[in-house]
Every structure is written in structure tokens, then in C-alpha cells.
Amino acid sequence: MANVDLSNCPHSGFFRAVDSRCSQCLKSYECEWLNSTDEFNGLANKPMEFLYRALAFGIDYVDARNALAESHDDSCACDSCEWLTNARLLGREHIQ
């Protein structure tokens, strides 16, 4: 996927068969094949509740790992804490 120019792709490289732009794109064959072999491709077919529970599990896991490290607090700006902040915001959006 890294070798495919996606600078003009409206879907950031995720092939959408229902979008005529994808079927008319010069990269459609490569993109469709790469997406069909992508381990995350099935996520589009999962119910939102399944995805939310997976996110909640990830939040709990990363939070527990950070607690074990004992070097993370509310002011920490490391990648792990930044991911937690963003994931929690995303989770709250789902609940609302």
C-alpha cells in the first residue's frame, strides 16, 4: 500500500465498491486487492456496538499499562496518553 499514490483518494486508500470514483480510478485494481487482503477490512461490516466494545477494551488495556508504569498523569503528553485522550473522546461521541 505504501507504493500506491493515494494523495487524491477520497477514501484514503480504502476501496469502496459502491463509490463510482473507486471503480473509475486508475488504481482501483491495486486498491481493491490490497483492501481485500487487509486484516482490518472486515471492520466495515461489524456492528458499531462491537467496535465500541473493542475500543473500550483497548482503552482499559492501555490505561492499565500506563498505571503499571506509574509515570503517567493528567499532564503526560506521551503517545500512549495522547491515544487514551483521543480514544476516550471517540468513545464519548459514540455514547451521545
Q: Are residues 78 and 59 in the same domain?
A: yes
Q: Are residues 7 and 23 in the same domain?
A: yes
Percent of the chain having pLDDT more than 90?
A: 26
pLDDT of the residue at 39: 66
Q: Are residues 31 and 2 in the same domain?
A: yes
Q: Are residues 84 and 68 in the same domain?
A: yes
What's the total number of domains in the chain?
2
State yes or no: pLDDT of 88 exceeds 90: yes
**What does the alpha-carbon distance between residue 60 and residue 67 come to, in Å, rounded to a whole number?**
10
Q: Are residues 35 and 15 in the same domain?
A: yes
pLDDT of the residue at 23: 84
Q: Are 61 and 31 in contact (CB under 8 A)?
A: no
Which DSSP category does 38 fall into?
-
Q: Which residues contact 87 (CB under 8 A, 6 or more apart)?
A: 55, 58, 59, 62
Q: Are 11 and 19 in contact (CB under 8 A)?
A: yes
Q: Are residues 51 and 23 in the same domain?
A: no
- pTM of the shown model: 0.57
pLDDT digits (tens, 9 = 90+) for 13-59: 888 888 899 888 888 888 887 777 666 667 777 888 888 999 999 99
Q: Are residues 55 and 90 in the same domain?
A: yes
Full domain range(s) for residue 75 = 46-95
Q: Are residues 57 and 36 in the same domain?
A: no
